[in-house]
A and B are shown apart, each in its own frame.
Chain A
Amino acid sequence: MSEKTIRLIITRQKDQDGKSYKEEFELPYRENMNVISALMEIRRNPYNAQGEETTAVSWEASCLEEVCGACSMVINGKPRQSCTALVDQLEQPIRLEPMRTFPVVRDLVVDRSRMFDSLKRVKAWVPIDGTYDLGPGPRMPEAKRQWAYELSKCMTCGVCLEACPNVNDKSEFIGPAALSQVRLFNAHPTGAMHKAERLNTLMDGDGGLSNCGNSQNCVQACPKGIPLTTSIAALNRDTTLQSFKNFFGSDNNF
């Protein structure tokens, strides 16, 4: 075993109402470690850097290949997925914190329910259920499909919400992720049948599209490279036109 070690400073919290505190860990270095394997090492041997026995750190992970979004956390100040955060590329000590934009469940585990509620709010799906077979939908041009695929890479990981200065406890802003999904499903040939409904939802009530302050952190932070700010600007155009239609247009404004 090599003498080399890695150091981690983890922001921990016992439960939802618990006070957060920092705990330091020192682990034996292995080649090609990621943050997840470091956390697994702590689970295997739950002693902190002072040599005291402690509880294993809680975190979430699922796919381990950056497509599920479950293992997002703040690593050295930046929100990202811990599965693709390679120890060799990180400055030490590695600081791990939960994404505090969301309610912290325990240690690094957060509750991203608000994001899934947002997807329900904007109806981020293509409605195809009926009482009979509706048959095949209209076809989509290949170029458009490739474009839409980029938007569909969103894994609801929460990094864009964590990076956004306008998503916080003082505001109800829905955040970039769900907004971009509106653009995706409004572009789908069948999804477009509910376009006006989705746009009206974004204009309705508090925390909708207009809460965006154009800090454009989201597009820099998105691990999937989704053009979030382009989505937001495009929706600004769509909702502007929709609101004109609603006010000046006839009753046929779908």
Chain B
Amino acid sequence: MAQNREYFLRKMHSLLGVIPVGLFIIVHFGVNYFSTRGEAEYNQAVNFMENLPFRYTMEIFIIFLPILFHAIYGIYIAFQARHNTNNFSYFRNWMFRFQRISGIIVLIFMAWHVWETRIAAAMGQEVNFDMMANIVENPVALIAYIIGIVSTTFHFANGLWSFGITWGITVSPRSQQISTYVTLGVFLALTYVGVASILAFV
């Protein structure tokens, strides 16, 4: 396997972005949406997630390690490109560029987000409605959250589109066109869920 390392790493990068990281994002956004139903229901959902059996094992193997690999290899990929949207201002070339920009934004956002929530929780702070409400009380933090959420949903939706090509699922131009529409729908739906959830804390 040593010879075709790059092919293997690239394919893993594409796969892990969708399974499990993409699925994790959907679950995470879904649970967050409890915030729109009020404090009590949100705290109950958080409590349920916190007390899942095998929580640490699942966190490590389904969340932390795949994201870590995807992020580190993603930085390498992002900085390998020389962008040329000035001369080639086509839709897909812009998406190519945004995919790399959003990836870096998500990485920075995530580092901050994990620091403020997961690491704070590990230090003994209680995770509940008030924790998030305190964070987004600051309008700068709220804007940062919205930018982070939209970057995440874009990166996931557009990544889903290229996942279809990378694995040879959407080969014909027609199927790639339809997949553009479908992933646009995924982007809009997830963005709505994410932004509505964060605004519920305000």
Contact = CB atoms under 8 A, between A and B. Distances in A.
Is A bound to B? yes
Interface residues of A, number: 40
A136 interface: no
Nearest to A200: B4
A97 to B, nearest CB: 11
A236 interface: yes
Contacts of A232: 165
B96 A214 contact: yes
Interface string A114-158: 000000000000000000000000000000000000000000000
A43 interface: no
Contacts of B95: 215
A210 B83 contact: no
Contact of A233 (B6, B10, B86, B168): B168
Given A166-B81, A171-B80, A78 B87 contact: yes
Given A77-B86, A215-B92, A236 B167 contact: yes
A213 B77 contact: yes
B82 interface: yes
Contacts, number: 110
Given A205-B3, A205-B4, A229-B173, A210 B166 contact: yes
Contacts of B90: 216-217, 220
Contacts of A213: 77, 81, 96, 99, 162
Interface stretch (A52-60, A188-196, A237-245): A237-245
B93 A217 contact: yes
B86 A203 contact: no
Contacts of A229: 165, 173, 176
Nearest to B166: A236
A231 to B, nearest CB: 9
B82 A209 contact: no
A15 interface: no
A55 to B, nearest CB: 28
A238 B168 contact: yes
B10 A163 contact: no
12 contacts: A163-B84, A168-B80, A202-B7, A203-B4, A204-B7, A205-B4, A210-B7, A213-B162, A215-B88, A230-B171, A233-B171, A243-B11
Given A163-B88, A237-B169, 16 more contacts: A77-B86, A77-B87, A78-B87, A165-B97, A171-B81, A210-B6, A214-B96, A216-B90, A216-B92, A216-B96, A233-B176, A235-B168, A236-B165, A240-B11, A240-B168, A243-B11
Sorted nearest first, the 4 A-B pairs with minimum C-beta distance are: A237-B168, A215-B96, A210-B10, A216-B92
